[in-house]
Structure 1
């Protein structure tokens, strides 16, 4: 019985040492990864040079897969859904201009979900074709948060139909600007 306790104690000691070495190894790997994520000079935000190179490569691959017809559809969809939403909000504005109307017409509807998806595609195309990292980051930020419900709440929650129409005008302006960037 005494030998059995000694054996268990020795085995526990070995397990503790092994786990400590594994944790130490993981910690060293983590520190190594953190040091490579440090911001490179001349780049915006906390994005490292290797991350930028990977994103540039991914953007280059995406550009080769976009066809002019695909890009036209992206911009037509975005414009079409913005206009549909504007028509609904204009009717709501005439009917009373209440905040609850925006919630039911945009945030809590499938039309709002579709609006989010088409604008997300449009902003992704803008990020792919943008020439500066600042523009790329700006367009990618417009896709966040990564949920239609949260995105719609971010831009339309507590808005009256009139305020929501102004937001849609900004999105329509982005469609025009990004279309010009893509068509260069």
Structure 2
């Protein structure tokens, strides 16, 4: 990083030279500020609802489950089979409930602007699974057992996405359902 300007105090330029991504720069700088001011990087854990699922992030719901205008194509009548939550670059995304990671990575790395982008899929047993999509990165691997609140990824905008957010889904016996009643919304 020194050859890219870090020694002259221009950390943002040095980080940008490392991978040419302003979102990455913002994420690294946020973590650095938190570490300097707080001594650690905090994560907010939200209490689970009666179903045992916790709301994954405290952010505003930017798109509920159901029919909507597709934000990418602008066409009406698109089925949105999850809930979108606002989140910030670098924000850590926790598991909503304990379970086993059954997928972690790109949905289609050859076409990174399609589908979920980078996502995590967790099997909670009893026919329940959750999806955490459009992440900038995952922090878990297939086979990992996670507890509610364990970080599974970082907020991003990969795949078919118009900006930073978390797309969250709940499956019951293989079918997507509206997550809202399961997470206390």
TM category, shorter: under 0.3
Give TM-score, length-normalised by structure 2.
Answer: 0.24
Higher strand share: 2
Higher helix share: 1
Of structures 1 and 2, the larger Rg is shown by 1
Give TM-score, length-normalised by structure 1.
Answer: 0.24
